[in-house]
Amino acid sequence: MERLQKYLARCGVASRRKAEVLISEGHVSVNGTIITEMGFKVSDGDSVLVDGKSIEVKEHVYYVLNKPRGVISTSSDEKNRKSVISILPDEINSYRVFPVGRLDCDTKGVLLLTNDGDFMNMLVGPKSNIEKEYLARVDGIFPKELIGKVIKGFKVDDYVTRPAKLYIEEYDKKNNSSLVRLIINEGKNHQVKKMLDTLGYPVKRLTRIRFGSVTIDGLKEGEVRELTVHEIKTLYGLASSNNFK
C-alpha cells in the first residue's frame, strides 16, 4: 500500500507536491471513484486514472545533465551549497533520481542521473572499467615525456593508477598553462586533480566531456536530457563486459 500522491510521483505523473494539487482538485480516480483525500492508499492492482486516462508506470529513468560549476553532486552539504538535485525540473525530481558517482563542485560536464541503484553500482563500483574523459586546464607547460607515466600507471596517495591515456591539446605559453585530455577508467575521489597534481601540474579548470559513450554534445550548461535506449544498453554492455580484474 502506498499513499496516492507518492504513487503518482513514482509513476512520473508529477512531483509529489503537484500530485497533491491534482488530487485535491479532483483529477484523480481510484477504481472508478474520484479521490480528493490526501492520505488515501493504493496498491498495485488498483486502477488509477488521471483525468480519465490510465497512467503508465515508469520505474527506472536515466538522464544526463551538463553539470555547471558551483553546484554539488551530493544531495546535502555542510556549506549549504546548491545541489544538482535543486536545479533539476520537478518532473525529473519526482522520480527521485540521484547522481551516478560524483563530480567536484568546481567541475562541470557529464553527470548521469538515475533512480536505478543496480545500474549506478555497476557503473561506479570498484570493478567498473568504464572510460571517463576529461579536459583539464593545468598550470604549467605539461611535458610530453610524462605521457608514458600516465599510460603505465603511477603512484597517487596510497594506490597505483590504472593505465590511462593523456593527450596534450594545446599550450598557452603566455599564461603558462596547458590543456590536456585525460581518459581514465576508474573513479577514485578527486582522481584527475590528484593525478595531475602528483605529476606537478595542478588543475585550474576541469570538465568531464564523456562517460562511457555518453557526451554532453548539444546540451547547454545546466541542461538535462533523457538517455536514449541505445545509450542505456551501451552502458549496460560496457559495464558488464569491462569489469576490471
List of residues contacting ligand URA (CB under 6 A): 103-104, 107, 190-193, 206
Q: Which run of H or E residues covers position 65?
A: strand 62-67
2 vs 106 by CB, closer to ligand URA: 106
User: What single letter denotes the amino acid at residue 18?
Assistant: K
CB of 189 to ligand URA, least distance (A): 8
Grid coordinates representing 41?
A: 492508499
User: What single letter denotes the amino acid at residue 131?
Assistant: E
How are beta strands 48-50 and 62-67 bridged, if at all?
unpaired
Grid coordinates representing 13?
A: 505523473
13 vs 164 by CB, closer to ligand URA: 164
8 vs 112 by CB, closer to ligand URA: 112
| C-alpha span between 190 and 211 (Å, rounded) | 16
- The catalytically annotated residue of 46, 104, 139, 217 is 104
27 vs 208 by CB, closer to ligand URA: 208
CB of 208 to ligand URA, least distance (A): 6
CB of 164 to ligand URA, least distance (A): 12
Asked if 43 and 30 count as a contact pair (C-beta separation under 8 A), the reply is no
**Residue count (the chain):** 245
Q: Identify the DSSP state of 83.
A: B
Measured between alpha carbons, how far is residue 51 from residues 8, 38, 193 in Å? 13, 17, 52
CB of 114 to ligand URA, least distance (A): 18
Active site residue 172: no
- Residues with a known catalytic role: 104
